[in-house]
């Protein structure tokens, strides 16, 4: 398996890619098919498989799959609702959070099935075996202990109570004086 770095390019439906760990040799991907408005995000799925999602010019969202390290892309799914995030939770196993629920792929993004009606989860982090923590569009924090099939509320219900950091979700509480008290990172959910 070759490691690859993919960088989304502004104002174009392409990626800039590199196989070289010294970052000396870069290449352009072929454009994503269709009328892409903006590439939102991408993730590695498994082996040479990569997934990205994009907002389309008709205000739909599409999921694209590359089977060759990000050089070529095919559209595998188009939604009329918003895609918030896609995360890899295991080799070839992905979750897609949308305004219509949670979708899962168990084959590196080739096919997707709805597994949950939970909507509005804009950030999802895996914090342990089968355990996920998420922040909703309203700032509420949720936890799943079965890889996204069902979700329970943590009681944190405001954006000011959580911070989405690179190392996980940091939960904070404000006391009656307005001071922040840090409760811990997502592993301490």
CA–CA gap between residue 133 and residue 80 (Å, rounded):
26
Residue 100's nearest CA partner among 111, 89, 86, 84 is 84
pTM: 0.83
pLDDT, one tens digit per residue, over 61-101 is 999 999 999 999 999 999 999 999 999 999 999 999 999 99
pLDDT at 83: 97
What local confidence, expressed as pLDDT, does residue 106 receive?
Answer: 97
166 to 96, 119, 170: CA distances (angstroms): 19, 23, 10
Residue 96 confidence (pLDDT) = 96
- What are the phi and psi torsion angles at 150 (to 5°)? -135, 155
Q: Which residue has the higher pLDDT, 2 or 60?
A: 60
In whole angstroms, give the CA distance from residue 149 to residue 29: 34
Q: Which pLDDT score, from 0 to 100, does residue 1 have?
A: 59
Question: Which residues neighbour 59 within 8 Å (Cβ) at sequence distance 6 or greater?
Answer: none
The rounded distance, in Å, linking the Cα atoms of 99 and 118 is 8
Q: Going by C-beta distance under 8 Å and a sequence separation of 6 or more, which residues neighbour residue 167?
A: 185
Q: Measured on CA atoms in the order 101, 93, 88, 142, is the torsion positive or negative? A: positive
pLDDT at residue 179 is higher than 80: no
Is pLDDT larger for residue 77 or for residue 181?
77
Q: Determine the average pLDDT of the residues in 98-106.
A: 96
DSSP H or E stretch at residue 56: strand 49-56
How high is the mean pLDDT of the chain?
Answer: 85
Place 141 in a pLDDT band, splitting at 50, 70 and 90: confident
Please report the pLDDT score of residue 92 as a whole number.
93
Q: How far apart are CA 68 and CA 72, in angstroms?
A: 7
| CA dihedral sign, ordered 61, 48, 114, 146 | negative
pLDDT in tens, 125-137: 888 788 888 888 8
Tokens describing residue 155: 């009681």
| Beta-sheet strand order (sheet of 5-8) | 5-8, 15-18, 26-28
Mean local confidence (pLDDT), 9-18: 93
């Amino acid at each position: 398996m070759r490691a690859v770095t993919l960088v989304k390019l502004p104002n174009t439906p392409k990626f800039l890619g590199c196989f070289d760990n010294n970052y000396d040799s870069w290449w352009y991907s072929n454009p994503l098919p269709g009328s892409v408005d903006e590439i939102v995000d991408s993730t590695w799925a498994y082996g040479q498989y990569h997934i990205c999602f994009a907002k389309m010019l008709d205000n739909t969202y599409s999921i694209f799959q590359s089977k060759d390290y990000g050089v070529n892309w095919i559209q595998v799914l188009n939604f009329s609702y918003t895609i918030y995030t896609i995360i890899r939770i295991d080799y070839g196993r992905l979750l897609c959070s949308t305004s219509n629920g949670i979708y899962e792929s168990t084959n590196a993004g080739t096919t997707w099935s709805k597994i949950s009606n939970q909507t509005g989860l804009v950030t999802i982090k895996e914090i342990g075996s089968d355990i996920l923590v998420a922040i909703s569009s309203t700032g509420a924090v949720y936890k799943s202990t079965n890889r996204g099939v069902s979700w329970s509320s943590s009681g944190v219900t405001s954006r000011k109570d959580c911070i989405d950091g690179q190392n996980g979700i940091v939960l904070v509480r404000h006391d009656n004086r307005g001071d922040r008290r840090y409760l811990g990172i997502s592993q301490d959910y």
